[in-house]
Structure 1
Amino acid sequence: MIAVPIKQPAERPAKHIPGEEGIWVLIFGDMVVFAIFFVTFLVYKAGNPAAYEADQALLNPHLGLLNTLLLLTSSLFMAQAVRLARLGAKEAPAMITATIVLGLGFVVVKAFEWGEKIRAGLTLTHSEFFTYYYMFTGIHLMHVLIGLGVLLWLRSSCKPSEQYPVATFEGCGVFWHLVDLLWVVLFALLYLMK
């Protein structure tokens, strides 16, 4: 009888949660707050759907879509930055730069959109819908600006001769993906949902 060696299963790598624990507490808290915002918006919209739809028709869905594409693409670059940082690849900082540029593009488009609405007399006090529109997109924009500040700090701290701080890359990536996810929901709620 021939003895056949039994192959032992390879050890599974330990599960890894990206970033530090604290970033997940922040993200969970943000998601709870935004969930409350979204439910509140939907409840008030259900009470006066015709007025909300009339105001929604005044938004520019093309600018909303452009901002969605900018943030989705920026998230792709952020994911690449994290992947490259884990590999120690010298291209990781360039991916952070691309994420920052696309994030700044979002800010410019949002400023243009707000300016267009304000010039048309559609201000924060124009209607209930526009109160929510400015509050939600303003709070989201604040998240984008905080994220951009953190990414600028991360980019400036990347030295070619040193190993990248992978946990920091991951934490920044997780926050940036949250910003992206929140915008996708806001885009659907404010611009698309009838």
Structure 2
Amino acid sequence: MNAPQSMTMPAAMKQKHLPGDLAMWFFIMAELGVFLLLLGGMAFARGYYAEIFHEGIATLHPEAGLANTLVLLTGSYFVARGVHTAKGGRNRVAPWFVAGALTGLVYAVIKIAEYQILISAGYNLRSSTFYFFYFFTTFFHFAHVLLGMVILLVVAQRSRKGFYADAGVARNAAESAGSYWHMVDLVWLVLFPLLYVLP
């Protein structure tokens, strides 16, 4: 009775691996460390300048924040589907990753429009402590969305051109790009309630 269990346990353990390339994970962890410092600074400032943050949050547009949350979650779904095809050996990464990059473009359009509204109303990095953290953290995240789009499109293009003929290489490239995109999405899921929802 114990023999089948001892045989299946190593097989299950063999299936577990770090998705993607180790170098990408070092990069992701470094980026998360920077975001953690920014969020920690914002949390400290929020406690110290509670009224300023409350007034600043009231000037934002939660509809735009919610729309971008849904857009990025949709993008993560597309990217996850692309990674799934690579794991299955079908290598149909390109259409899913292009769709994911397009959601990044929608995010960028919404974010730029939101920036324009705030700047035209006279708000900028120097307006208050709240706006410093708002513009700095969201623009830093915005830059990561753009980089994520580039990574997805590069992997999609290389996939189309047959650079990933080997199934293991295709899976590794897709998982690396997908891990980065999901990191960007995760950071926004923290930023959105902190900046738009919590009073």
Instruction: Note whether the superposition's TM-score is higher than 0.5.
Output: yes
> How far apart, CA to CA, are the structure 2 residues paired with 1:95 and 1:81?
5
Does 2:137 match 1:154? no
Is 1:172 aligned with 2:177?
Answer: yes
Q: Per-residue deviation at 1:89?
A: 2.3
Is it true that 1:83 corresponds to 2:84 in the alignment?
Answer: yes
Match of 1:185 in 2: 190
My pick for the range that moved more, 86-95 or 35-44, is 86-95
Assess, with a 3 A threshold, how the Cα gap between structure 1 residues 31 and 7 changes in structure 2: closer, same or farther. closer
Checking the alignment, whether the CA contact within 8 Å between 1:88 and 1:163 is kept in structure 2 is: no
Amino acid at match of 1:179: V
Report matched runs for 1:25-174 at 5 Å. Answer: 25-89=26-90, 91-159=92-160, 162-163=165-166, 165-174=170-179
| CA distance, structure 2, for counterparts of residue 160 and residue 146 of structure 1 | 21
Cα 1:68–1:184 shift into 2, 3 Å: same
Equivalent residues of 2:71, 2:107 under 8 A apart: yes
Structure 1 residues 11-49: Cα deviation after superposition (integer angstroms, max 9, x where no partner): 325121101111111111111111111111111111121
| Aligned partner of residue 124 in structure 1, secondary structure | coil
Following superposition, the deviation at residue 163 of structure 1 comes to 4.6
Report the alpha carbon displacement of residue 160 of structure 1 after superposing the two structures with TM. 7.0
Q: Percent of pairs identical after alignment?
A: 32
TM-aligned CA deviation for residue 188 of structure 1: 1.3
The alpha-carbon deviation at position 7 of structure 1 amounts to: 4.3
**In structure 2, do the counterparts of structure 1 residues 21 and 126 end up closer, same or farther at CA, with 3 Å as the change threshold?**
same
Structure 1 residue runs of 5 or longer lacking an equivalent are none
Listed one character per residue, the Cα deviations across residues 29-78 of structure 1 (whole Å, up to 9, x for unaligned) are: 11111111111111111112111101100000000000011111101111
2:12 is aligned to 12
2:67, 2:195 → 1: CA distance? 14
Give the alignment's Cα RMSD to 1 decimal.
Answer: 1.9
Note closer, same or farther for the CA distance 1:168–1:50 as it changes in structure 2 (3 Å cut): same
User: Contact 1:71–1:180 (CA<8 Å) still a contact in 2?
Assistant: yes
Tell me the TM-score normalised to structure 1 length. 0.92
Larger Cα Rg: Structure 1 or Structure 2?
Answer: 1
Runs of 4+ in 1 over 3 A off after TM superposition: 6-9, 160-164
Aligned residues: 191
| Distance in 2 (alpha carbons) for counterparts of 1:61 and 1:116 | 13
